[in-house]
Structure 1
Amino acid sequence: MCARPRDEGVAASTSGAASTNRSLCRTLRACATRTFERLSTDHYERDVPGEESYTQFNLQDLRRGHPDRIVIREFRRAEESRNGADWEWWFHSGGSGFGMRVQAKRAKRGGGYDLEHVVRSTGARQSELLVEDALIAGCIPAYVLYNHRNWVPTSETGRAVDCRHGLGTPTQLGCTIVSALTVRAELRGPRPSPARVRDRSMPWHRILCDAPGRGQTILEAAHTAVRDLHERGRDTLRAAVRDQYYAERNHARYSGSDDIEGWPALRDAPAAANGQGPSHAEEAVLGLPVYRGLDELAQTPLSPLPDRVRAILQGREAEPTDERLAGAMVVDLDTPRGDRA
């Protein structure tokens, strides 16, 4: 488990009184460090389990470290649906909150991820199902990446920086989070780069580490961080569509053909062929059913928790929204304004 990483220990006691004084941010940092070290060791020993195992390690440590603040519910699933399952994460305070639909990906030995995975039971791309299922569930879609290699992220948002819960270390990049729209954008190109997706991710603890003096509750700050993550993904997707538009236009100009080998996703919005511009291409793609409503979802204010989440909090039966949902983690952020996460 990730209970005692070398640089940031998680207190052994799991009593309610003890966990109240512990920081969720600090626990997430500790889990990231342990994931980084464990995945590195597993690759070295050539005995690497799937994403579900690392997810279970982290969920167990979060639940043990904060039993008064975190409730986890696992759902029974058919064997075929275990391949490519998601989790819902809900953050709440006083009956209101927001949700995320999360898919985990562990880094391979060389640092890449299986982002092009196809779910056997449906034949559909996992990334597309993640976005579609998130919309149905009223959640913002994201990927959690489990990493084992040091790198310097391309943006300040992605770097492991110091916060009031501890010093920034490269091992905190062991668990990072990125918008599912960023993944969808990368998959639209002829040569998807896992490194570009990784570089646009950020350490997952930064969701629950609001900057001092912002005048927000922890829940408000977390909601802002997740919406910003989603909006960066949307902007990346728009840029990818524009790149495809210009690639298609140039190809048509110099070859006299609409058949663009290596750009299969252009079939979604063949804008150049019919004389439309890049803005039309953006709207055509973002208007597809898989994306429709995600902009509105990101702008939705904190809202009352859905019945299925309240049922989990009350210890009642809760039905998953679909067979691919592995479980739900519900995090209580009900702390007074100005308190630390």
Structure 2
Amino acid sequence: MRVAIFTDETGWHTRQIQQALRARGAEGRCVDLADCRIDTAASWHGLVIPGYGRELPDAALVRGIAGGSFEQVTVRLGVLHALRELGVPVYNDARAIERSVDKSMTSLLLHAAGIPMPPTWAMESPAQAQRLVTRESAAGRALVLKPLFGSQGKGLRRVGCVDGAHVPLPSLKAYGGLAYLQRYVESPGFDWRVLVVGGRAIAAMRRCSAHWIHNLKQGAKVEPAALTPELATLAERAAAALQMDYAGIDLLPGADGPLVLEVNGVAAWQGLQRVTPFPIARALVDDLLDRKLAAARAATGGARRA
């Protein structure tokens, strides 16, 4: 079996996946989606995936998609869409990545599924956004301004009533001209990251920090966390709402129970592995091969168009 590992950078995560694939008798080749192309003259399927000649991989696992222009990212996602349509199981596929990378769509789908989360707004009008911030501030509440496509805690700012003082909305130029705002929830010094694989929560950790941002890239420390039925069920519901094969779910303690903050469709797990007794990459690979690839082969009778 040949599995394409789509990533824009190689390192610890890709080595873990390749090792887990080798243990299953499969080959994992790292491929940058920026190096793939559509070429309808090259083969019956019209794709060129470096390292696969005129053939297609048996499966694909997405570890990263490089940023670029709207047109570049559209074509890269188009390659993933095409692979799915051609019968190649993609883990997570383009639809799931689109749902999770766009925080506004994530919020809409979580809300529609009845999953508890902080009140959330997304709007283009600076005047409307400023009125929202002023109204929330007058009620003694703060909001968190986030980049719509951001990750790792970068670019987060608190506005509204922050430490008893009013903080106005900044220029939205650095945020793509869009205000994505979530009501700020006071943290007890930690949040949870729960990893869901194949619809089942398999591991959890607490990310601890004196700062209100708890991402590891922002200096948070990790410690083991009990995967309680409450956390597991909520994380599984969140992953199901976005139809994810695997997902890192960020949750924060709330007054009435945990709240889902974000769903990560290309989740890193290096920090989580430190406090998890089993190899996470093996769990991902086993789910890809035993569930997703097996289902795809069963649906096609094990044959691919020649």
TM-score bin (small chain)? under 0.3
Higher strand share: 2
Higher helix share: 1
Tell which has more relative contact order, 1 or 2 (C-alpha 8 A, sep 6+): 1
> With structure 2 as the length reference, what TM-score do the two structures score?
0.25
> With structure 1 as the length reference, what TM-score do the two structures score?
0.23
